[in-house]
Amino acid sequence: MSSPVTTPSQALPFGRLTTAMITPFRPDGSLDLAAVQKVATYLVDGGNDALVLNGTTGEAPTTSDQEKVQIIEAVREAVGDRAKLVAGVGTNDTAHTVECAKQAEAAGADGLLVVTPYYNKPPQAGLRAHFTAVADATGLPNMLYDIPARAGVEIKSETLIELAAHPRIVAVKDAKGDIAGTTKVLANTDLIYYCGADELNLASLAIGEAGIASVVAHVASREYRQLIDAVVAGDLATAQDIDRRLVPAVETIMTMTQGAIMVKAALKLAGVIEHATLRLPLVEATAEQLDRLTTDLKTAGLIA
């Protein structure tokens, strides 16, 4: 097995830098496709190899299947082949997930993000059957999304090792925070790992994860591109410096309240989007949260 850290970016299924992209809405809550295209172009211009669409940060729980297709089509129109498009299709219903996967493939997605079925807490045998059914449904490569804090159940290392035998299960978005478990999977499979927890980006890259699937990269794509490039080049000191400089932004965006709330506020502060509208049950950042966000983005050098 080759090391993902030394593998050229073009040989990786979704490159190295990926952002879990927001879904912009107008003040009335309707989908703003022009703003979707603007954000996508901004992220690709900032160095993203791929964009994850219709994930949690994209408020997938409150967008319709039709809207998800429109988002994929709009982003493809905006960025062309400059970036891979990974479509979030996961639900807690296997039949619905398969349907969403087929729709995403037809809309032009390059890959699928398939989250662990949430709320109904299936056993590992159920997870294996679910992920296999989705991978069998299309010709697209699949990235499994392991996030027990949201799903209520983890994908155990042994399950991931077994699923890695499927030719279209090629990657994992890792938001579990289990460094030892991840190392075990990396040692026993060719799965390509993307860190899905910004506070662990450097640590995850250090153990051999190939890249990151970031939220904070909405406002720090260039910085994370530099961090990844430094790790690949073996320049740990530079990577550490960047990682530590971004701590205030990571803490505020990812821990003050829900991530989509804060990153939409951050994009508005950065002048990328006009409206920070969210769909209920998410609500916009408070004045106090905005003050803290502004201070911490400035401290991290992300806004003037």
- Catalytic residue IDs: 145, 173
Phi-psi region of 25 (alpha: psi -120 to 50; beta: other; left: phi over 0): beta
Q: Annotate 77-105 with three-state secondary structure.
A: HHHCCCCEEEEECCCCCHHHHHHHHHHHH
Nearest alpha-carbon partner for 212 in 197, 223, 226? 197
- Alpha carbon of residue 170 to chain centroid: 15
Do the beta carbons of residue 240 and residue 202 sit within 8 Å? yes
- Return the closest-CA partner of residue 123 out of 97, 165, 156, 95: 156
- On the 0-12 / 13-18 / 19+ scale of CB atoms within 10 A, 28 is exposed
Q: With the C-alpha atoms ordered 8, 226, 179, 259, is the resulting torsion angle positive or negative?
A: negative
CB neighbour burial string for 282-293, b if at least 16 within 10 angstroms, e if fewer = eeebeeebbebb
